């Protein structure tokens, strides 16, 4: 669906932000873009809806170069939630802001109202429709940014660190909302994040960015197993994987693989405990028998 070929970009001051990115994103996938500060995530995202023009290389949407498509068409098909909500929100009130996208798509006022209502409901902000944007907290503004994109019902959603600044319950709700939209409505998701713990739970593939290049692309098991790669990209493993890795390497606990989520770790620990349980029972019986 989206194809990025040999993408290069330098900022005006000469900073080389993208140095030859090749990446293909299939319809319906949920891709995580991981990378340390300054690795190029935001710059890459700005190329995916034509906000920045590449110095070299190209971005194709369904085989057509983004730059050659009508801007309104690109914006209605690809919704971007920016890293900084103040780059995105500009209308005086919440409902006006969320209504902006669908109104521009030529929908009737009734249909726009419906979309705004539904989108605000999805992000848990239905009671804030009349509130001025400037009177919202940072996390609330982020939610309104997501609502503004949802109201356009795009085929692709690109989110630049959407969970940053959300409270823990907000992170949980947003991730489940994105998962639901991805699985049940088929919306392709691309999300830049630093929250490695979320990745194995929600994303089907990861692209690791470092110094404007994709170091590796693969699923969580492949990517997180490569410790040299993680170090090179200045990233760390999900916390639960760090713990299980320590148990394996330092304490020589017999782990078959490194679990990446709490659920996997729980199953692995239960497996080990049941082995221990059997072993101690056998040992206990042996001792009872005087052997
Ligand atoms: N407007 C700009 N002018 C000059 N250099 C810039 C500009 N914006 C970003 N850069 C540089 O481009 C590189 C990539 O920045 P980018 O914002 O894409 O990184 P990022 O991966 O999104 O980082 P973060 O995790 O901090 O959001 C960095 O070296 C940064 O300093
Ligand atoms: Mg960024």
Helical segments of 78-126, H only: 94-104, 109-122
Running DSSP on this structure, what letter comes out for residue 93? B
Residues 166 and 259 grouped into a single domain: no
Residues 181 and 254 grouped into a single domain: no
- Which residues pair with residue 33 across a beta bridge? 192, 207
Residues 182 and 38 grouped into a single domain: yes
- pTM for this prediction: 0.90
H or E element in which residue 184 lies: helix 168-185
Asked whether residue 243 is assigned to any structural domain, the reply reads no
- What integer is the mean pLDDT of 242-259? 90
Q: Is 193 in the pocket of ligand 1 (CB under 6 A)?
A: no
Q: Which residue's entry shows tokens 């990115």? A: 21
Decide which of 235, 260, 278 is a domain's last residue.
Answer: 235
Asked whether residue 8 is assigned to any structural domain, the reply reads yes
Residues 131 and 260 grouped into a single domain: no
Atom of ligand 1 lying closest to residue 209 CA: 21
Q: Is 57 in the pocket of ligand 1 (CB under 6 A)?
A: no
Asked whether residue 36 is assigned to any structural domain, the reply reads yes
Asked whether 12 and 206 are in contact (CB, 8 A), the reply is no
Q: Is 210 in the pocket of ligand 1 (CB under 6 A)?
A: no
188-233 tens-digit pLDDT: 999 999 999 999 999 999 999 999 999 999 999 999 988 899 999 9
pLDDT of residue 173: 87
Containing structural domain, residue 158: 2-235
- The tokens describing 284, both together, are 């206990």
Asked whether residue 99 is assigned to any structural domain, the reply reads yes
pLDDT at 256 over 90: no
- What integer is the mean pLDDT of 21-26? 96
275: left (phi over 0), alpha (psi -120 to 50) or beta: alpha
Asked whether residue 241 is assigned to any structural domain, the reply reads no
Handedness of CA 56, 62, 68, 72 (dihedral sign): negative
- The tokens describing 91, both together, are 């209308």
Q: Which residue's entry shows tokens 């873009």? A: 33
- What integer is the mean pLDDT of 73-101? 92
Residues 182 and 261 grouped into a single domain: no
Gyration radius from the chain CA atoms: 23
Asked whether residue 242 is assigned to any structural domain, the reply reads no
Neighbours of 4 (CB within 10 A): 22
User: What is the Cα–Cα distance from 214 to 29, expressed in whole angstroms?
Assistant: 18
Q: Is 35 in the pocket of ligand 1 (CB under 6 A)?
A: yes
Residues 265 and 131 grouped into a single domain: no
Question: Which residue, among 12, 54, 38, has the nearest Cα to 23 in the 3D structure?
Answer: 54
Phi, psi (degrees; rounded to nearest 5) at 236: -120, 165
Range of lowest pLDDT (111-115, 178-182, 252-256): 252-256
User: What is the Cα–Cα distance from 277 to 273, expressed in whole angstroms?
Assistant: 6
- What integer is the mean pLDDT of 49-58? 92
**How many structural domains comprise the chain?**
2
Running DSSP on this structure, what letter comes out for residue 132? B
Residues 199 and 262 grouped into a single domain: no
Asked whether 82 and 29 are in contact (CB, 8 A), the reply is no
Nearest ligand for residue 34 CA: 1
Asked whether residue 125 is assigned to any structural domain, the reply reads yes
CATH code at position 90: 3.40.50.300
Residues 161 and 281 grouped into a single domain: no
With both helix axes pointing from N to C terminus, report the angle between 138-150 and 94-104 in degrees, rounded to the nearest 10.
20
Q: Report which protein residue has its CA nearest ligand 1's atom 1.
A: 11
Residues 79 and 167 grouped into a single domain: yes
Residues 153 and 17 grouped into a single domain: yes
Handedness of CA 171, 176, 182, 187 (dihedral sign): negative
- 166 confidence band (pLDDT: 50, 70, 90): confident
Residues 44 and 187 grouped into a single domain: yes
Residues 52 and 110 grouped into a single domain: yes
Question: Which residue, among 168, 167, 171, has the nearest Cα to 159 in the 3D structure?
Answer: 171
Ligand 1 centroid – CA 211 distance (Å):
10
123-141 tens-digit pLDDT: 999 999 999 999 999 889 9
Phi, psi (degrees; rounded to nearest 5) at 65: -65, 130
């Amino acid at each position: 669906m989206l194809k990025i070929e040999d993408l290069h970009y330098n900022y005006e001051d000469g900073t080389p932000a993208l140095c030859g990115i090749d990446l293909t994103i299939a319809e319906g996938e949920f891709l995580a873009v991981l990378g340390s500060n300054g690795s190029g995530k935001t710059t890459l995202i700005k190329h995916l809806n034509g906000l920045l023009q590449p110095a070299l290389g190209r971005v194709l949407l369904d085989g057509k170069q983004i730059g050659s498509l009508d801007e309104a068409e690109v914006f209605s098909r690809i919704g971007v939630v920016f890293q900084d909500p103040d780059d995105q929100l500009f209308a005086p009130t919440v409902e006006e802001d969320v209504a902006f996208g669908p109104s521009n798509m030529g929908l009737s006022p009734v249909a726009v109202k419906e979309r705004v209502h539904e989108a605000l409901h999805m992000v848990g902000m239905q009671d804030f429709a009349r509130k001025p944007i400037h009177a919202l907290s940072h996390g609330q503004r982020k939610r309104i940014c997501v609502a503004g994109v949802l109201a356009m019902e795009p085929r692709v959603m690109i989110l630049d660190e959407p969970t940053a600044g959300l409270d823990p319950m907000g992170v949980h709700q947003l991730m489940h909302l994105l998962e639901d939209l991805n699985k049940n409505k088929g919306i392709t998701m691309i999300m830049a994040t630093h929250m490695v713990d979320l990745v194995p739970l929600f994303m089907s593939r990861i692209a690791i960015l470092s110094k404007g290049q994709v170091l590796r692309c693969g699923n969580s098991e492949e990517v997180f197993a490569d410790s040299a790669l993680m170090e090179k990209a200045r990233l760390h493993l999900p916390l639960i994987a760090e713990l299980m890795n320590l148990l394996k390497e330092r304490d020589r606990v017999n782990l078959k693989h490194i679990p990446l989520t709490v659920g996997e770790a729980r199953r692995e620990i239960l497996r080990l405990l049941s082995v221990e349980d059997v072993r101690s029972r056998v040992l206990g019986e042996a001792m009872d028998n005087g052997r």
